[in-house]
């Protein structure tokens, strides 16, 4: 169901979601995105360049975070701007549990033209992994 | 050695056309675990007012990152890619990318600055349909960590 501009106010919360990430997820994303950097699938290589373990692609995390917005609006085409800063890696251990990306969002500003700014909070293992994560959305 | 700021404003020739395929969109949506039918079902996309299935918001990076290789591999610029991390990423959409689009990417270097010994490079990619219609702008910041230990220590103090 589409969200109407008239239904939202500054502070309106979007339904929060959790997204699991396993090594298999990262291999699949590498294939789909064409980013085959071994830090995203080869533990020996990742540790060799000073990382604690294999890490998720920043662009994968960015893709998960915006789902809180696109699931809210229904229409992914409603997103007119979207930006993030990659602050910390999402470390993905080689086990069945893997990692979890937790995303919540709220309306931060009402803008002209029935648009709103949504600020996202994106964490994994209790740490903020994306900074300045925000989207501008066109509502009906 | 710091990157040459005279490269600010440099543009690169548009890439060869990339045809956005519905199966590629589906593959990407599956890879990010997103079941939104706008990515896979034409009727669902049409119900939202789109002429065909659309790509997820971060899909254009697949194109803009590949196109940015022109900058990353520009021998005159001399970026040491082994020290590069993706600092931040922004998209500004005129409309979503959709199946059947044939788009080119025009790459430009918007900024180069030095922060605590690290080179910070802002690369803009304009994704433009063959008809000339603008689809999305990607702004990517790449951070090339300083090569010498002294500068590394400085960066660590931030």
pTM: 0.94
Rounded Cα gap, residues B54 and B42, in angstroms: 9
What residues are paired with A70 via a beta bridge?
Answer: none
Q: So what's the ipTM on this one?
A: 0.96
pLDDT tens digits, one per residue of B90-124:
999 999 999 999 999 999 999 999 988 899 999 99
Q: Predicted confidence band at A2 (pLDDT cuts at 50, 70, 90)?
A: confident
Query: Tell me, what's the pLDDT at B157?
Result: 40
Residues in B touching A29 (Cβ below 8 Å):
31-32
Q: Which of B58, B92, B139 sits opposite A62 (nearest CB)?
A: B58
Of the candidates B58, B85, B87, which has its C-beta nearest A59's C-beta? B58
- In whole angstroms, give the CA distance from residue A3 to residue B16: 39
Please give, rounded to a whole number of angstroms, the shortest distance from the CA of A118 to a CA of chain B.
Answer: 14
The per-residue pLDDT for A1 is 60
Q: In this prediction, what percent of chain B has a pLDDT beyond 70?
A: 92
CA distance B134 to B128: 5
Do A81 and B54 make contact, defined as CB atoms within 8 angstroms?
Answer: no
Min distance B27 CA to chain A CA atoms (Å):
6
pLDDT at B158 over 60: no
Q: How many residue pairs from chains A and B have C-beta atoms closer than 8 A?
A: 97
DSSP A60-114: HHHHHHTHHHHHHHS-GGGEEEEEEEE-S--B--SSSS-EEEEEEEEEEEEEGGG
- Give per-residue pLDDT as tens, B1-28: 688 999 999 999 999 999 999 999 999 9
Q: What is the mean pLDDT of residues B128-145?
A: 96
Is the CB of B69 inside 8 Å of chain A's CB atoms? no
| B87: its two tokens | 């600092």
- The CB-based long-range contact list for A112-121 (8 Å cut-off, 24+ gap) reads A113/A138, A114/A5, A114/A138, A114/A139, A114/A140, A115/A5, A115/A80, A115/A139, A116/A5, A116/A8, A118/A14, A118/A69, A118/A72, A120/A65, A120/A66, A120/A68, A120/A69, A120/A84
CA–CA gap between residue A100 and residue A125 (Å, rounded): 7
Give yes or no for residue A20 having a pLDDT over 70.
Answer: yes
Structure confidence at residue B145 as a pLDDT band (50, 70, 90): confident
- Name every residue whose Cβ is closer than 8 Å to that of residue A131 and which is 6 or more positions away in sequence: A84, A85, A86, A87
Residues of A in contact with B30 (CB under 8 A): 28, 32
Contact at CB, B33 and A64, closer than 8 angstroms = yes
pLDDT band at B40 (very low <50, low <70, confident <90, very high): very high
pLDDT for the residue B154: 45
Q: What is the mean pLDDT of chain B?
A: 92
């Amino acid at each position: 169901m589409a969200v109407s501009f008239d239904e939202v106010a500054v502070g309106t919360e979007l339904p929060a979601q959790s997204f699991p990430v396993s090594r298999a997820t990262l291999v699949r994303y590498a294939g789909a995105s064409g980013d085959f950097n071994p830090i995203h699938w080869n533990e020996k290589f990742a540790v060799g360049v000073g990382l604690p373990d294999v890490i998720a692609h920043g662009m994968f995390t960015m893709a998960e975070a915006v789902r809180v917005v696109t699931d809210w609006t229904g229409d992914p085409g409603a997103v007119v701007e979207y930006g993030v800063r990659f602050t910390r890696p999402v470390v993905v251990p080689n086990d069945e549990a893997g990692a979890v990306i937790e995303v919540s969002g709220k309306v931060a500003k009402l803008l002209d033209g029935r648009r709103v700014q949504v600020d996202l909070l994106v964490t994994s293992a209790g740490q903020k992994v994306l900074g300045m994560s925000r989207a501008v959305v066109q509502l009906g | 050695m710091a990157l040459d700021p005279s490269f600010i404003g440099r543009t690169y020739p548009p890439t060869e056309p990339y045809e956005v395929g519905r199966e590629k969109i589906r593959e990407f949506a599956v890879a990010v675990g997103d079941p939104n039918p706008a990515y896979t079902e034409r009727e669902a996309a049409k119900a939202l007012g789109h002429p065909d299935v659309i790509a997820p918001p971060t899909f254009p990076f697949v194109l803009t990152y590949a196109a940015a290789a022109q900058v990353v591999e520009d021998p005159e610029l001399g970026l040491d890619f082994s020290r590069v991390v993706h600092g931040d990423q922004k998209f500004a959409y005129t409309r979503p990318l959709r199946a059947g689009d044939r788009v080119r990417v025009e790459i430009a270097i918007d900024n180069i600055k030095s922060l605590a010994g690290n080179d910070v490079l802002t690369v803009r990619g304009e994704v433009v349909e063959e008809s000339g219609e603008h689809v999305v702008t990607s702004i990517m910041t790449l951070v090339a960590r300083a090569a010498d230990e002294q500068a590394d220590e400085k960066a660590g103090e931030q």
